[in-house]
């Protein structure tokens, strides 16, 4: 690895926060002090954040937050930044740190699936263990890269898990491993599966990020999507592009948003298919906008 000028931190913890507004104010203050950008959600149920800054400053921030005993054992994941991963800093108080709108009985502070480590998963793969990986990210994230042979429930949003549950029915009695980018979504997703009769559910500690830091290029096909302006994360190691342009099927890892603002679908589109004045996910979306333009 070369000299990293910028670094991106990814962290979360489900832990009771008595005064989310006060904690959010403190986090914002420290982030401003260290010149960090990014976002962090603070709720009564915990925190979920990602910040970018100069590497040393992100480390100073990490030290400060780990000094708070509520977060002393919080795992902080690190990846290379580019100095422009986030346009600004946003620290917000929310009801949930991941918007699931699940019933309140789904509470990782009380019950969630057991975790396995990247090492254990590597062993499962090596031994040819009988298990199925369910990818709890959104469909468009799955498209640029995912664990080999993993199941994509086709979520448009974390809120949709109850809706896609029937698709996962065949895995109810199987050994299931839920995965997501850094682990935060799986805390509730895996609990939701357990609550709904799935017998043997585990979640991957630190998510794909943790696995790829440890085993770059192994068992994961394509690139790891990230919700910042890097769009995908690179951990080194061999990597094949598996994403395909929604419009022409050419291999690509380039994401765009549908230029029909009413649609705004996030999808993969190769350079050739990207229009100068915007890219449309479908001819329907193109027609909507172009007809409006004609009648205007
Ligand atoms: Zn294309
Ligand atoms: Zn569209």
pLDDT digits (tens, 9 = 90+) for 63-78: 999 999 999 999 999 9
Residues 87 and 133 in one domain: no
Note down the domain range covering 198: 115-233
pLDDT class of 1 with cuts at 50, 70, 90: very low
Residue 270 lies in a domain: yes
- CA 145 to centroid of ligand 1, rounded, Å: 18
Residue 250 lies in a domain: no
- CA 259 to centroid of ligand 2, rounded, Å: 7
When divided into structural domains, the chain yields a total of: 3
- CA 136 to centroid of ligand 1, rounded, Å: 27
Nearest by Cα to 271 from 285, 252, 244: 252
Residues 146 and 87 in one domain: no
Residue 241 lies in a domain: no
Each residue's pLDDT tens digit, 91-116? 999 999 999 999 999 999 999 999 99
Nearest by Cα to 46 from 31, 68, 61: 68
| DSSP state, residue 114 | P
Q: C-alpha angle 172/178/200, rounded to 5°? A: 40
Residue 208 lies in a domain: yes
Phi and psi angles of residue 153, each rounded to the nearest 5 degrees, phi first: -70, -15
Pick the range with the lowest mean pLDDT from 8-17, 213-222, 233-242: 233-242
Residues 123 and 203 in one domain: yes
Last residue of a domain, one of 62, 93, 124: 93
Phi and psi based region of residue 110 (left: phi greater than 0; alpha: psi -120 to 50; beta: remaining): alpha
- CA 216 to centroid of ligand 1, rounded, Å: 28
Ligand nearest to the backbone CA of 285: 2
Catalytic residue among 180, 258, 270, 281: 180
For residues 270 and 245, give the distance between their C-alpha atoms in angstroms, rounded to a whole number.
5
Residues 172 and 278 in one domain: no
Ligand nearest to the backbone CA of 268: 1
- CA 133 to centroid of ligand 2, rounded, Å: 30
Residues 262 and 228 in one domain: no
Residue 21 lies in a domain: yes
Active site residue 180: yes
Ligand nearest to the backbone CA of 286: 2
Each residue's pLDDT tens digit, 227-278? 888 888 878 777 889 999 999 999 999 999 999 999 999 999 999 999 888 9
Nearest by Cα to 26 from 2, 47, 3: 47
Residues 229 and 267 in one domain: no
We report the CATH number of the domain holding residue 165 as: 3.40.250.10
Residues 262 and 207 in one domain: no
Residues 223 and 278 in one domain: no
């Amino acid at each position: 690895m070369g000299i990293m000028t910028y670094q991106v931190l990814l962290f979360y913890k489900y832990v009771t926060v008595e005064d989310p507004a006060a904690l959010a104010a403190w986090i914002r203050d420290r982030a401003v002090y260290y010149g960090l950008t990014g976002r962090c959600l603070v709720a009564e149920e915990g925190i979920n954040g990602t910040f970018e800054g100069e590497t040393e400053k992100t480390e100073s921030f990490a030290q400060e937050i780990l000094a708070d005993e509520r977060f002393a054992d919080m795992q902080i994941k690190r990846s290379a930044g580019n100095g422009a991963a986030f346009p600004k800093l946003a620290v917000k108080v929310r009801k949930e740190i991941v918007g699931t709108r699940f019933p309140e009985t789904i509470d990782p502070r009380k019950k969630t699936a057991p975790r396995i480590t990247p090492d254990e998963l590597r062993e499962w793969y090596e031994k040819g263990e009988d298990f199925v990986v369910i990818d709890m990210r959104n469909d468009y994230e799955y498209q640029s890269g995912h664990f080999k042979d993993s199941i994509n429930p086709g979520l448009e949003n974390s809120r949709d898990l109850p809706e896609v549950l029937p698709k996962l029915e065949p895995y109810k009695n199987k050994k299931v491993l839920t995965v997501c980018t850094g682990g935060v979504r799986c805390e509730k997703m895996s609990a939701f599966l357990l609550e709904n009769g799935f017998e043997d559910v585990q979640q991957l500690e630190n998510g794909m990020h943790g696995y790829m830091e440890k085993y770059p290029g192994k068992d994961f096909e394509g690139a790891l999507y990230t919700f910042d302006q890097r769009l995908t994360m690179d951990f080194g190691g061999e990597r094949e592009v598996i994403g395909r342009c929604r419009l022409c099927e050419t291999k690509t890892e380039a994401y765009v948003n549908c230029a029909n603002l009413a649609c705004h679908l996030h999808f993969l589109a190769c350079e050739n298919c990207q229009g100068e004045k915007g890219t449309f996910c479908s001819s329907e979306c193109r027609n909507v906008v172009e007809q409006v333009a004609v009648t205007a």
